[in-house]
Homo-oligomer: A and B are copies of this chain.
Amino acid sequence: MNNKNKKAIILLSGGLDSATVIAIAASQGYLCYALSFRYGQRHERELISAENIAKTNNAAQHRIIDIDLAQLGGSALTDKNIEVPKQGDDLENKNKIPITYVPARNTIFLSYALAWAEVIGAFDIFIGVNSSDYSGYPDCRAEFIKAFEKTANLATAAAIEKKGIYKIHTPIIELSKAEIITAGTKLGVDYSLTHSCYDPTPQGKSCGKCDSCRLRLKGFKEAGIKDPIEYAI
Q: A: which residues have CB within 8 A of B?
A: 63, 65-69, 71-74, 97, 101-108, 110-112, 114-116, 118-119, 138-139, 141, 143-144, 147-148, 150-152, 154-157, 159-161
Bound-complex Cα distance A118 to B69 (A): 12
Q: What are 11 contact pairs spanning A and B, CB under 8 A? A: A63-B71, A67-B67, A67-B68, A73-B119, A97-B160, A104-B111, A104-B112, A111-B111, A138-B159, A139-B156, A148-B155
List the B residue with the shortest CB-CB distance to A66: B68
List the B residue with the shortest CB-CB distance to A97: B157
Give chain B residues whose Cβ lies under 8 Å from the Cβ of A139: 154-156
Bound-complex Cα distance A115 to B104 (A): 5
A155 touches B106 (CB 8 A): yes
Which of the residues B101, B118, B141, B155 comes within 8 Å of A144, measured between beta carbons? B155
B74 touches A103 (CB 8 A): no
Bound-complex Cα distance A112 to B139 (A): 14
A147 touches B154 (CB 8 A): yes
Bound-complex Cα distance A118 to B67 (A): 17
Dominant secondary structure at the A interface: helix
The minimal Cβ–Cβ distance linking A161 to chain B, given in whole angstroms, is 7
A103 touches B157 (CB 8 A): yes
Which of the residues B102, B112, B144, B159 comes within 8 Å of A108, measured between beta carbons? B112
Give chain B residues whose Cβ lies under 8 Å from the Cβ of A161: 97
Beyond known contacts A67-B67, A74-B118, A107-B155: 5 more, CB 8 A cutoff: A97-B160, A102-B115, A103-B114, A104-B114, A106-B155
B151 touches A107 (CB 8 A): yes
Q: A111-B104, A156-B103, A160-B97 are in contact. Are A66 and B66 (CB under 8 A)?
A: yes
A141 touches B154 (CB 8 A): yes
Give chain B residues whose Cβ lies under 8 Å from the Cβ of A67: 67-68
List the B residue with the shortest CB-CB distance to A102: B115
Give chain B residues whose Cβ lies under 8 Å from the Cβ of A101: 157
